[in-house]
Structure 1
Amino acid sequence: MTKRRLFVVFLSTVLFISTLSISFGQSSTKPFVYGDPLPDAPELAARGSYSVGVQTMDLIHENQLDILNYGKGGDSLYNRPLKIEVWYPAEVATGSDVLISYEDVMGQNGSPNRPIIPITFLGRANRDAKPFVSEGAFPLVIVSHGYTGSRYLMTYLTENLASKGYVVVAIDHTEATFRDAGGFSSTLLNRSLDDLFVLNEIARRGQQDGSFLKGLVNTDNTALIGYSMGGYGAINVVGAGYSPQAAQLFGTMSNGSKALEKRSVGNAEYQASIDPRIKVVVAFAPWGMQRGVWNAEGLAGIKVPSLFIAGSKDDISGYEDGTKAIYEGAVNSDRHLLTYIDARHNTAPNPPPAESLAPGIHLDEYLRYADSVWDMRRINNINQHFVTAFLGIHLKGKEDYKTYLEVNQADEKKPWPGFKPRTSIGLMLDHKSAN
């Protein structure tokens, strides 16, 4: 090959890579970060006006049932550790959010084929920044990951909401993270209990002298967001009591424990636990309907406004007999269902980490995050848009945001409110009012 042709090939390659970088929102001075808006992002995907702070906290939920050792003798209680990440409006010059490196892992605790592998990825936040309290307290958003997952699974959304004036708390659910995955019975029992404990603990610390949360968070105005098993727990917290069939299944898995009955429909203790501070719920691909976890009476217990988000080809939680069936059954909730046509289960996570693309890495590390039809960055932007609209309406009283949930699905040529022309294809948004 001649030197001239080599130069042409080299130049073409450089231009191709540069074009890819630009299309991905990357440049030499501003790399693309999870959650950054793509050129076709809908309007409300853009970050808000607040700079974002972030802090890590370690909590202890004392004297909890040690369900993984139930019936094996000895003490059946343990002090359950919960690590949380808190994103919040920070007292930093507007637009000065810095690149931050989040450290997580991929893999599966105890799996020889999928060993734990450290990963890092970038966000835009200020570690341990001074909270912004000049405008009063902000609504609380609690975020619950899937099985398995981590508190960093949805940073594209947690950072975005904090920039819009929310205190966002994401939980590492013990015995359900990549690092410490344990028996499934722990997830079945503890999801809703973890959510309620974190709500109470954030409320307590919001009144505590010396806590960075004092004066920052309004727990009387709370949203709960859950993905997969996080969605399973979230809709239980807001009123969907588990069915007798679910309690029986749990007993089979846990040496005969009846602990789940306390979170089941008709149980007085469960009914008393439904917390009026939680005003709305967002459930991404909630697991359980296919397994008979809820019946009609249980789903009728959801009375707060609800936003359900799912892929029409979800092969983990199901769609017609899964998320859509939950949406249809929540008859006492004013509710929306956002559907990604032909997407599978992963409608909530960050995009796949760079490490998942390396040679020799188990395919499941990539598939934990990716969808085979949709670009995850695109899904992330659409989620930011609709969750912003939904929470804005119900937690901040933004009546003008209702327009974004009023779409005309009959006219494919007319873009949805907030969407650029020709970019609302592949989506459905349904709405039902409460009975």
Structure 2
Amino acid sequence: MRRLLILTAGLTLLATSACSTPPPPRADAPPATPPGPVTLPAPTGPHPVGTTVLHLTDTSRPDPWNPDADTRELKVTLWYPTGQRDGQRAPYMTAGEAKLLLKDSGLSTTPYDTLSDTRTNAVRDAVPAGGRFPLVVLSPGFTKPASTLTSLAEDLASRGYVVAGIDHTYESYATTLSDGRVVECLACDSDTDPGFRAGLVQGRAADVSFVLDRLTTTWKHSRLIDRGKIAMAGQSIGGAAAVATMVKDPRVRAGIDMDGTTYARIPKDGLSRPFMFLGSKDHVPGGLDTSWDRDWKLLTGWKRWLVLSDAEHQSFTDIPMLADVLGLEPLPGMLPAARGAELTRTYVAAFLDQHLKSRRQPLLDKPSPRHPEATFCPATCARP
């Protein structure tokens, strides 16, 4: 079911049960006020964060979803270290994007500014800091915009990474093109076709390779990027795309799949570059999704398989932090939104610091008493 914010194992629409009658309000109780705009958690690294948006067009191939487009246009949001602390904060998304996103998510009565007024921490079009930094590509889940990974992106940029979030056009409920049009999800019309997801991740791999070509050569700040230190992380189908990209493009030196069933097949001789699975309980060995069991055997280099207790599919994104203003609430026992964001940031940054910056991270060697939610698999994971 194509619902952005009705989460698989965690978030439900606020509603009064038909089987119970709520108590009458107290006469002296103040009227309820809607929650104010959400402010994303502050980045934890030493650098202020800048951000900018690029619209890139790949003229070498037609768009896979729009038969009327003989080129592939992508929106890429970049986050990067800057020395600039003051300035206009970048919008989380535009009102036009929020309108389509909420409509197609089944939340059309929610005011658009509920999402578009979400407060970020990055300074819009700030001057980049000097130096060269590793590059991390982020790919969102199917129907989701890259903005749903903003908290993670800002944190990585503050720690000294250039981060590129890709909006895979026509695969999200809302993507803004270079001419200002906001286009919808054409791929959603095909998502029940045989082989759809396998083809989807291959298309995303092509998107990533094209973006790498452009960012490392023609982008005006390409000097920021250390071309020998590139990684990719994604959530859901974006995590599956990290596998597909690494199989096709050797420039991606390390990868992370955040709770994504994998569809790209790893060659029989294996994938020797560092890789980490970071997921929810559905991804324990022998669990509901067995694709990680299959691929674990083919990861022949450094690898980790971590499961966060009480996490659900969207715990690795911003969505739980937006639940309150969207009229959604977590089910009892679900990992709190702030803690989910903290754990995601911590383990993703540790992986990248170890494999792109050669800084050994003991956190990745064994369970941590400070992070008891993280279980190391497959040896210590409980099977269902």
**What are the within-5 Å matches in structure 2 for residues 198-209 of structure 1?**
198-206=211-219
Is 1:347–2:315 an aligned residue pair? Answer: yes
Quick one: higher RCO (CA 8 Å, sep 6+), 1 or 2? Answer: 2
CA contact (8 A) 1:300 1:329 kept: no
Equivalent of 1:87, from 79, 89, 98?
79
Is 1:286–2:286 an aligned residue pair? Answer: no
Compute the displacement of 1:298 (Å). Answer: 3.2
Hey, what's the Cα distance between the residues in 2 that align with 1:389 and 1:345?
A: 21
Is 1:176–2:171 an aligned residue pair? Answer: yes
**What are the within-5 Å matches in structure 2 for residues 179-328 of structure 1?**
179=174, 180-183=184-187, 184=191, 185=196, 187-206=200-219, 211=220, 213-239=221-247, 273-275=248-250, 277-288=251-262, 294=265, 298=267, 301-313=270-282, 319=287, 321-322=289-290, 324-326=292-294, 328=296
Hey, what's the Cα distance between the residues in 2 that align with 1:236 and 1:149?
A: 19
CA contact (8 A) 1:106 1:116 kept: no
CA distance 1:67–1:130, shift in 2 (3 Å): closer
AA partner of residue 282 (structure 1): I
Hey, what's the Cα distance between the residues in 2 that align with 1:383 and 1:187?
A: 25
Structure 2 equivalent of residue 336 of structure 1: 304
Compute the displacement of 1:354 (Å). Answer: 4.8
AA partner of residue 62 (structure 1): T
| 3-state SS in 2 of match to 1:33 | coil
CA contact (8 A) 2:216 2:222 kept: no
Hey, what's the Cα distance between the residues in 2 that align with 1:182 and 1:116?
A: 23
CA distance 1:335–1:343, shift in 2 (3 Å): same
TM norm structure 1: 0.65
Is 1:105–2:90 an aligned residue pair? Answer: no
- The answer for unaligned runs of 5 or more in structure 2 is 1-25, 175-183, 380-384
Is 1:53–2:50 an aligned residue pair? Answer: yes
CA contact (8 A) 1:143 1:171 kept: yes
CA distance 1:125–1:63, shift in 2 (3 Å): same
Count residues with an aligned counterpart: 327
CA distance 1:312–1:166, shift in 2 (3 Å): same
AA partner of residue 237 (structure 1): T
Q: Deviations over 1:336-389 (max 9, x none)?
A: 112022433223210346587456xxxxxx59x999711122111011111111
Hey, what's the Cα distance between the residues in 2 that align with 1:355 and 1:389?
A: 27
CA distance 1:303–1:200, shift in 2 (3 Å): same
Hey, what's the Cα distance between the residues in 2 that align with 1:100 and 1:224?
A: 23
Is 1:34–2:40 an aligned residue pair? Answer: yes
CA distance 1:327–1:98, shift in 2 (3 Å): farther
CA contact (8 A) 1:285 1:311 kept: yes
CA contact (8 A) 1:55 1:86 kept: yes
Structure 2 equivalent of residue 250 of structure 1: none
Compute the displacement of 1:234 (Å). Answer: 1.1
Structure 1 equivalent of residue 120 of structure 2: 123
Q: Deviations over 1:367-425 (max 9, x none)?
A: 9x9997111221110111111111111111112xx2111224xxxxxx53xx2xxxx33
What is the RMSD of the two structures over their aligned residues, measured on CA atoms?
3.7
| 3-state SS in 2 of match to 1:215 | helix
CA contact (8 A) 1:343 1:372 kept: no
Structure 2 equivalent of residue 405 of structure 1: 364
Hey, what's the Cα distance between the residues in 2 that align with 1:116 and 1:152?
A: 21
CA contact (8 A) 1:52 1:97 kept: no
- The answer for unaligned runs of 5 or more in structure 1 is 37-45, 240-272, 360-365, 409-414
Q: Deviations over 1:178-234 (max 9, x none)?
A: 12212244734411111111111101125xxxx1x1421112210101111111211
CA contact (8 A) 2:38 2:325 kept: no
Hey, what's the Cα distance between the residues in 2 that align with 1:299 and 1:165?
A: 35
* Higher Cα radius of gyration: 1
Equivalent of 2:344, from 383, 390, 393?
383
Compute the displacement of 1:116 (Å). Answer: 9.7
TM norm structure 2: 0.73
Compute the displacement of 1:139 (Å). Answer: 0.6
AA partner of residue 235 (structure 1): V
CA distance 1:66–1:431, shift in 2 (3 Å): same
Hey, what's the Cα distance between the residues in 2 that align with 1:112 and 1:331?
A: 36
AA partner of residue 49 (structure 2): V
Hey, what's the Cα distance between the residues in 1 that align with 2:185 and 2:140?
A: 13
CA distance 1:6–1:149, shift in 2 (3 Å): closer
AA partner of residue 226 (structure 1): G
Compute the displacement of 1:97 (Å). Answer: 7.6
Structure 2 equivalent of residue 252 of structure 1: none
Hey, what's the Cα distance between the residues in 2 that align with 1:302 and 1:319?
A: 23
| 3-state SS in 1 of match to 2:300 | coil
Of Structure 1 and Structure 2, which has the larger fraction of its residues in helix?
1
Structure 2 equivalent of residue 153 of structure 1: 148
CA contact (8 A) 1:327 1:335 kept: no
Hey, what's the Cα distance between the residues in 2 that align with 1:116 and 1:87?
A: 32
